[in-house]
Amino acid sequence: MDRRRFLVAGASALGACARQTAPPGVNVRIAVGGSAQIVYLPTTLAERLGHFRDEGLNVTLQDFPGGSKALQALLGGTADVVSGFYDHTIQMAAKPGAEARKLTAFVNMLRFPGLSLVVSPKAAKKIERIDDLAGTRAGVTAPGSSTHFFLNYLLAKRSVPLETVGVTGIGHAAAALAAVENGQVDVAVMTDPALAELQARRPKLLILADTRTPEGVRDAFGTAEYPASVLYASTDWLRANTDTAKRLARAMRRTLTWMIGHTADDIANRMPAEHQGSDPLLYRQALLASMPIFNPSGAITMEGAEAVKRVLSYSVPEVRDAAIDLKSTFTNEFVEAE
């Protein structure tokens, strides 16, 4: 049996086991920081494949325009778990006193963050590199989101004062595409599939930083992997809901394994039509190109965690100055549990 068939068979066996042992439905609310973005695809796919249901979970996916909004839902008590970027767990751990919240990532969906900094075609004549961004307008999914942190890191790394770049939230998907094409912003941090659609329309699109590939990740962060989209929750919730967390992790591992054994067409056919934008073929092409970013193991490495902290320290003074125990911001115990 080849590796692909073995992995698919293993996923099926896990599913059969879950169906035999799953309790009556446990309700879980997951806030997603922009579900149409390919970086969050595994969360939606797990629901569409029935993997949450197979684990005895009644999962409600709540869609938000950015990771910071999803985080707010968790902190406000309207969500139990966030499908967002890992860096929020570090950011919250660094806050002083009563503001600090202990959050723990327990499933890592991506090896690479899949973020790209692009130049609006209308601003191409005045911007050739990141050093040219002083005095410009930049778009991120939402202020305080991981796309914002990524932008700040790139600016700080090039010694561009953060206060010289205006930042505005442009969401993702069609909204982000329109903002870049219409020149509402000069540069923007984008993800697929919106980025793929923009590149198809604008073949000469200038990309200043691209973390969709191993080479781009090394160039941007100086590391082989960079944990990005994860499932995280409050540490207290995980302690009180250990079995539920194991079931969520198992559903996500099954989903990531399923993706290895299927084509981009297979995956796209399972996704909501509204996630595929105006061009389903282009969506499939973007998904095919994005397959290397996904992380079948679901685990986070300490090297990756340290890279995220290093990136945040460039632009978040609290992270730079705090003594953070990185081991408390993530755990692999649930993805490694049988």
Find, among 322, 333, 336, 328, the residue nearest to 305 by Cα.
328
Q: Which burial class, exposed, middle or buried, applies to 3 when counting CB atoms under 10 A from its CB (0-12, 13-18, 19+)?
A: exposed
Per-residue pLDDT of 315-324, as tens digits, reads 788 999 999 9
Residue type, 221: F
Which residues have a Cβ under 8 Å from the Cβ of 288 and sit 6 or more positions away?
264
Instruction: Say if CB 155 and CB 165 are below 8 A apart.
Output: yes
**Cα–Cα distance for residue pair 247/255, rounded to 1 Å:** 12
Distance between CA atoms of 297 and 299, rounded to whole angstroms? Answer: 5
Structure tokens at 51: 């993997």
Band of residue 184 on the pLDDT scale cut at 50, 70, 90:
very high
Mean pLDDT of 155-164: 94
Query: Is residue 106 within 8 Å of residue 232, measured between CB atoms?
Result: yes
pLDDT in tens, 29-77: 999 999 999 999 999 999 999 999 999 999 999 999 888 899 999 999 9
Q: Which residues does residue 233 pair with via DSSP β-bridges, in sequence order?
A: 104
Q: Is the pLDDT of residue 16 over 60?
A: no
Coil, helix or strand for 103? strand
Contact between 93 and 234 (Cβ < 8 Å): no
Instruction: State pTM to two decimals.
Output: 0.84
pLDDT band, residue 337 (cuts 50/70/90):
confident
Handedness of CA 154, 69, 90, 192 (dihedral sign): negative
SS (H, E, C) 184-232: CCCEEEECCCHHHHHHHHCCCCCEEEECCCHHHHHHHHCCCCCCCEEEE
Instruction: Write the CB contacts of 50 (distance below 8 Å, at least 6 apart in sequence).
Output: none
